[in-house]
Structure 1
Amino acid sequence: MSEKKYRTLVMQPIDSVAVSLQDIPKNEEVEVDISRELSKKIILKDEILFGHKFAVKAIQKGETILKYGEVIGRAIRDIAEGEHVHVHNLEGTRGRGDQIGTK
């Protein structure tokens, strides 16, 4: 692991994911500012490209995933802290008529 400071973005303390503001290699330790008072060190399990998301906490299968304080989808399998969050482990629920009224 390097001692490079990587740039990430978490908008709300309730967010399940952070967004990478640059490409970050696999196995790097990233310090993520969860809130003004709280930061967390996370070791990335995957390479995270600019604009992509990674889990800032463990997410259980079926759990809603929050980004910018809003629900962006549901986990289709367990997602480990530091793992890339994308279409391979996230099912989008926004704009889906079949998801109205479901959690």
Structure 2
Amino acid sequence: MTYLSGQDEGYTVNQLLRLHPEDNVLIALRALPAGTEAEGVRLQSAISLAHKVAAVPIAKGAPVLKYGMVIGRATADIEAGAHVHVHNMASQYTPTHYRKEEVA
């Protein structure tokens, strides 16, 4: 794991976490405001605690990597510093079920 730091009121605060060297997302270690900069990434929007941020640009259809494993695919182009969540990623981490599949 790699802790990525930024400056906050004159001291270093761990703000983002890369769980595996191959990950293309970072994890917010606290709620972060838009514009926060850490490890060369500038947040495009406010990010909630434990949410994902693109560490690099992720092309539509490309894998989203967390824990060094594919957890989903980008459903749209994702810029570095953007929030990565259900609005721009389809999960492959857990099965997705739809109501129509349950109704026979």
Give the TM-score normalised by the residue count of structure 2: 0.76
1:6 and 1:81 map into 2 onto residues whose CA distance is 19
The secondary structure found in structure 1 opposite 2:93 is: coil
Name the residue aligned to 2:83. Answer: 84
Name the residue aligned to 1:54. Answer: 53
Would you identify which runs of 4 or more consecutive aligned residues in structure 1 move more than 4 Å?
A: none
What 5-or-longer segments of structure 1 have no aligned partner?
32-40, 98-103
Name the residue aligned to 1:74. Answer: 73
Q: Report 1 or 2 for greater relative contact order, CA contacts < 8 Å, sequence distance ≥ 6.
A: 1
Alpha-carbon distance, 1:95 to partner: 4.2
The secondary structure found in structure 2 opposite 1:73 is: strand
Q: How has the CA–CA distance of structure 1 residues 11 and 94 changed in structure 2, closer, same or farther, with 3 Å as cutoff?
A: closer
Say yes or no: does 1:22 pair with 2:30. yes
The secondary structure found in structure 1 opposite 2:59 is: coil
Identity of counterpart residues, as a percentage? 39
2:15 and 2:34 map into 1 onto residues whose CA distance is 15
Name the residue aligned to 2:20. Answer: 12
Name the residue aligned to 1:38. Answer: none
- Answer yes or no: is the 8 Å Cα contact 1:6–1:30 preserved in 2: no
Alpha-carbon distance, 1:23 to partner: 0.4
The secondary structure found in structure 2 opposite 1:25 is: coil
Q: How many residue pairs get matched?
A: 87
The secondary structure found in structure 1 opposite 2:45 is: coil
Structure whose residues are more often strand by fraction: 2
Q: How has the CA–CA distance of structure 1 residues 25 and 71 changed in structure 2, closer, same or farther, with 3 Å as cutoff?
A: same
**RMSD of the TM alignment (CA)?**
1.7
What 5-or-longer segments of structure 2 have no aligned partner?
1-5, 97-104
